[in-house]
Amino acid sequence: MFDTVLVANRGEIAVRVIRTLRSLGVRSVAVFSDADADARHVREADTAVRIGPAPAVESYLSVERILRAAAAAGAQAVHPGYGFLAENAGFARACADAGLVFIGPPADAIALMGDKIRAKETVAAAGVPVVPGGRDPELAKAARELGAPVLLKPSAGGGGKGMRLVRDLSGLDEEIAAARREAAASFGDDTLLVERWIDRPRHIEIQVLADGHGGVVHLGERECSLQRRHQKIIEEAPSVLLSEETRSAMGRAAVEAARSCGYVGAGTVEFIVPGGDPSAYYFMEMNTRLQVEHPVTELITGLDLVEWQLRVAAGERLAFAQDDIALTGHAIEARICAEDPTRGFLPSGGTVLRLREPQGDGVRTDSGLSEGSEVGSLYDPMLSKVIAYGPDRATALRKLRAALAETVVLGVPTNAGFLRRLLAHPAVVEGDLDTGLVERDVARLVPDAVPTEVYAAAALLRQAALAPARGSGWVDPFSVPEGWRLGGERSWTAHHLRVPGHDPVTVRLRATPDGGFELLLDGAEVPVRGAAGSAPVRVTPGPAPAGADSRFTFRLDGIAHTFAALPDGTWLGRDGDAWHVRDHDPVEASLSRAAHSGADSLTAPMPGTVTVVKVAVGDEVSAGQSLLVVEAMKMEHVISAPHAGTVTELDVSPGTTVAMDQVLAVIAPAEEVAE
């Protein structure tokens, strides 16, 4: 076994690998960019080495800097995690040339399976069924011969990035161009292939493990059909779809695929299975690395896959044969990502102000977060994974839903609440899954309004913050925010609030002699008790949260509500959801509207970087015309003109870093310009 291993990655996977290194008594070396100087993986490693500025190309993607770090720290081996350089054959060769063991497959296997076109040809020759398709340079011709719908895929990478489902071939050329841009940005290679799209498909993958002595086994399958934009969000093992006969056949096919490329280490062979014919399966690709969803396999097999990666890389033989592997119980994983479901799942960011992650009683959280962590727009949006295990699927589902309800991330919008609702979807509970389920039913899983009690809690906490400290001596009654008036009725205190993506709301509070409040809510998006013009709602606040105790409980019209909260009420969380409740200045908003005289301000939908600017001040634009492109966390978002008009302001250029809601441009309507 090695004495020292460098982990060439960041975030939750770096923390995960470090955990196994520690359990084996192996010294761990972390690497970090300037943006990650205080990150959790840096603190948990035995030592850490700075490798460059924040952009990944100058740090985590720099082979030269990582090799220098390994030499400086005295590492004997490098674990690449997943993402970044994990499937880079050049990096694997460079490690070998530097006298380092690359904890992964041989460079030739990475190169072969990293080229999806060659990979399909290789496994097909080994008798593994593949999806019909075509490749560059006659991509468009092959797509038209296959007929719609077709799926465009980058040849050089995976993870769903750059994939495009084309149902109408009239827009094929534009879709190909967009897929090439994304592929080039993500993998440095814009080569594409096209495959026949299988409607209502199931995405099922087989975990394989191979040593350097000819031993190859599979560790069962994982169901990965719950996806958004071709990105997995929920994974489970085993799949409820497969019979024992099909499971064995797919396992044998995965082993043959691994043998066909001389594979060594942990890898995953991905298959697509028609929902209407579970006995049919087609090879899609092989991921030559550890998968994000590897914990579900670990929980049902009892094996530590990172440990076996290390042992195999150190030259050991597998200590078990295929017949020794037993799959016990059921495990399900949910990926927590920095994205805002209420804003179309756009990438989010910020500082983690409060954090609570569940552990124990069949629940495991793999995370790279800690309180104070900065989540920016430079890296992948996945923050952590919550995994639940039970003797059966129903138990695992219940445990995972409960664990997601306990998860608190204040300061950075995440998808935790969305995932909890998805796991309660009737089709998910029944196991009737396919890769299009989430997109079809996404509207049912994202609330369209902020609960009334969120605004009430935010107003109560703001009210408490206005009050003078207890024990501070005599207090002028006119300075206390309780609306006290000499010889008159108490007045109302107004709190003007806004949750991004929703209309402003005004909450009015009036203190009652017994220490409670009356509450009126204006501008609610749905009718609520206590709306303006009706009788006020009775509110009884509890103590404001302080320090690590972030819970805030109060009664609204006799019903108790509990939130995770910041003392100032700017962030509130419950059941995995979180709300950023901002102060809203009606006067400032009115002045801003007047200043632009009806023109539309185009704002950044997410924190990120402007990569493309297609217009200049004075340009006339048409409704729906693409004006700018903002990129964050490897995702492009096109900013289009809301109506015909003229660009009167343009505040950004390519390379400009922008915050969420920052004004990018202003478009004056055509009729206004004509006047």
What is the structure's pLDDT at 481? 60
pLDDT-based confidence at residue 45 (cuts at 50, 70, 90): very high
Q: Which of 324, 317, 206 is nearest to 264 (CA)?
A: 317
Which residues does 476 contact at the CB level (< 8 Å), separation at least 6?
none
Residue 386 and residue 404 in contact, taking contact as beta carbons nearer than 8 Å: yes
Q: For residue range 221-254, what is the model confidence (pLDDT) as tens digits?
A: 999 999 998 899 999 999 999 999 999 999 999 9
Rg (CA), the chain: 27
The span from the CA of 364 to the CA of 295, in Å, is: 9
Q: Tokens representing 555?
A: 């009664």
Which residues does 88 contact at the CB level (< 8 Å), separation at least 6?
63, 80, 110
Mean pLDDT of 291-299: 98
Residue 275 and residue 239 in contact, taking contact as beta carbons nearer than 8 Å: no
Percent of the chain residues past pLDDT 90, beyond the cut: 66
Q: Which of 98-102, 271-275, 513-517 has the lowest mean pLDDT?
A: 513-517
pLDDT-based confidence at residue 445 (cuts at 50, 70, 90): very high
The span from the CA of 300 to the CA of 21, in Å, is: 21
- Domain architecture of the chain: domains with CATH: 4-103 (3.40.50.20), 132-197 (3.30.1490.20), 201-328 (3.30.470.20), 335-443 (3.30.470.20), 452-467+490-583 (3.30.700.30), 596-674 (2.40.50.100)
Q: Note the helical H segments in 484-625.
A: 586-596
Q: Is the pLDDT of residue 282 over 60?
A: yes
pLDDT-based confidence at residue 549 (cuts at 50, 70, 90): low
* Residue carrying the six token digits 């023109």: 599
* Residue carrying the six token digits 């914990």: 295
Q: What is the DSSP-derived secondary structure letter of residue 652?
A: -
Q: How far is CA 461 from CA 112, 354, 466, 564, in A?
A: 58, 16, 9, 12
Q: Is the pLDDT of residue 393 over 50?
A: yes
pLDDT-based confidence at residue 293 (cuts at 50, 70, 90): very high
Q: For residue range 491-532, what is the model confidence (pLDDT) as tens digits?
A: 788 999 999 888 899 998 888 877 788 888 874 433 333 333
pLDDT-based confidence at residue 487 (cuts at 50, 70, 90): low
Give the sign of the dihedral formed by CA 524, CA 526, CA 528, CA 532: positive
Residue 162 and residue 179 in contact, taking contact as beta carbons nearer than 8 Å: yes
The span from the CA of 11 to the CA of 329, in Å, is: 29
> Which own/partner pairs from 109-114 qualify as long-range (CB within 8 Å, at least 24 positions apart)?
109/261, 109/262, 109/263, 109/264, 109/288, 110/288, 112/261, 113/261, 113/263, 113/267, 113/285, 113/286, 113/287, 113/288, 114/87, 114/89, 114/156, 114/157, 114/288
* Residue carrying the six token digits 């009683």: 361
Q: Rounded mean pLDDT of the chain? A: 89
The span from the CA of 420 to the CA of 407, in Å, is: 10
Q: Is the pLDDT of residue 589 over 80?
A: no
pLDDT-based confidence at residue 134 (cuts at 50, 70, 90): confident
